[in-house]
């Protein structure tokens, strides 16, 4: 199949192929143009994928040292790290993250590992929640690769004009390892 340039066309084509596969051999005579005649609205799976992309964008931006990009994800959101702080908006999140040490390569030398993610789309299809575990590993300053932080993300999302964004993030149950090579003023 040829690659289409429009996201809408690509989605419509994927839906058409999905319809063909769902119908099985007996319905294989349906054409792609027939399947395109009634394109479906985005599914909850599409919404879950979009939210998962936000979760990935956060971890990737932090690990790449793009702290400002990470903070911008919370332009319309509250961000809490239990026992540490609660802030609102990108500027405040940027302040919270300003103590992160960046090394010669421009990164904090970390890997955020997010697991056990459960995304639930609200019945209104405009809100969602997600729960995940996280562990942050770091190798810096001659220290071996080691876990330096663990906890859970409790997230709330809002869909505005078809785009998902963070509404609230709570980092709950924080467990601190050796944060001395990660933060200028570690909490431990």
Residue 43: per-residue pLDDT: 74
Q: How confident is the model at residue 41 (pLDDT cuts 50, 70, 90)?
A: low
Residue 125 counted as domain residue: yes
Same domain? For 31 and 57 the reply is no
Query: What pLDDT digit, counting tens, does each position of 48-100 carry?
Result: 999 999 999 999 999 999 999 999 999 999 999 998 899 999 999 999 999 99
Residue 122 counted as domain residue: yes
Say which residue, 12 or 60, is predicted with more confidence.
60
Same domain? For 27 and 65 the reply is no
First-to-last alpha carbon distance for the chain, in angstroms, is 55
By residue range, what is the domain housing residue 24?
7-36
Same domain? For 19 and 100 the reply is no
Residue 181 counted as domain residue: no
Contact criterion met (CB below 8 Å) for 120 and 140:
no
Q: Domain total for the chain?
A: 2
Same domain? For 53 and 32 the reply is no
Same domain? For 30 and 84 the reply is no
Same domain? For 102 and 12 the reply is no
Residue of 93, 109, 95 whose CA lies nearest to 166: 93
Same domain? For 32 and 52 the reply is no
Q: Model pTM greater than 0.85?
A: no
């Amino acid at each position: 199949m040829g690659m289409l340039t429009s996201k809408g066309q690509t989605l419509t084509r994927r839906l058409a192929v999905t319809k063909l596969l769902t119908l099985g051999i007996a319905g294989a005579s349906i054409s792609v143009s027939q399947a395109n005649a009634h394109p479906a609205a985005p599914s909850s799976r599409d919404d879950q994928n979009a939210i998962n992309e936000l979760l990935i964008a956060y971890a990737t931006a932090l690990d790449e040292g793009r702290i400002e990009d990470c903070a911008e994800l919370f332009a319309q959101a509250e961000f809490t790290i239990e026992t540490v702080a609660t802030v609102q908006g990108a500027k405040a999140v940027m302040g919270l993250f300003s103590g992160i040490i960046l090394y010669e390569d421009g990164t904090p030398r970390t890997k955020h590992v997010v697991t056990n993610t459960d995304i639930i789309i609200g019945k209104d299809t405009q809100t969602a929640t997600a729960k995940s575990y996280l562990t942050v590993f770091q190798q810096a300053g001659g220290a071996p690769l080691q876990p330096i932080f663990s906890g859970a993300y409790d997230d709330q999302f809002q869909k505005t004009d078809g785009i998902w964004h963070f509404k609230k993030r709570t980092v709950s149950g924080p467990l601190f390892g050796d944060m001395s090579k990660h933060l200028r003023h570690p909490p431990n």
